[in-house]
Amino acid sequence: MQTKVSCTLNGEDVSADVDSRTLLVDMIREQLSLTGTHVGCDTSQCGACVVHVNGRSVKSCSMLALQAEGAEIITIEGVDSNGDLHPMQAAFREHHGLQCGFCTPGMIMSALDLVQQNPDPDDKEIREWLEGNLCRCTGYQNIVQAVKAGAKSMRAGGKEAE
């Protein structure tokens, strides 16, 4: 049985017909065609699927699409500003906080939630916050540097986390 789910996705009102077992990540990728949110593990372990739901980071592989009814969802595609990289995205690029890039959207979305909670996190706080996001390439040091630089840039420019 299909059910219609309506929500706001990256500032646009959208809806999709989904099965009751459809995961939010699958609705975003398959029905709404936004593929920046990745499926990495299917077990909520890697964090590649992190999006913001009503302002908080959520692993979209652990949430049913039906639970997003009426929600405001932001994906990695929704954080830029008129085609310009968000300061956190720019910091990941500038500080080599990525290699293959597979985990990067989830890392950035998690980092934006952290900076919303704490605009000036230290290395330890960043590492603890990102524990649920796995990267198999970088060794995390450049990711931590990127998050710190992104947070600093956001503080300087007054840019909101979303």
Where are the chain's structural domains?
2-78, 87-157
pLDDT in tens, 9-45: 999 999 999 999 999 999 999 999 999 999 988 788 9
pLDDT of 162 higher than 50: no
CA distances (Å), origin 130, targets 8, 39, 110, 127, 157? 26, 17, 7, 5, 24
For residues 31 and 81, the model is more confident at 31
Torsion of CA 20, 23, 29, 32, to 10 degrees: 40
pLDDT in tens, 113-124: 999 999 999 999
Q: Is the CATH code 3.20.20.70 the one for domain 2-78?
A: no
| Residue in 105, 120, 111 with CA at minimum distance from that of residue 25 | 105
Report the topology of domain 87-157.
DNA polymerase; domain 1 (1.10.150)
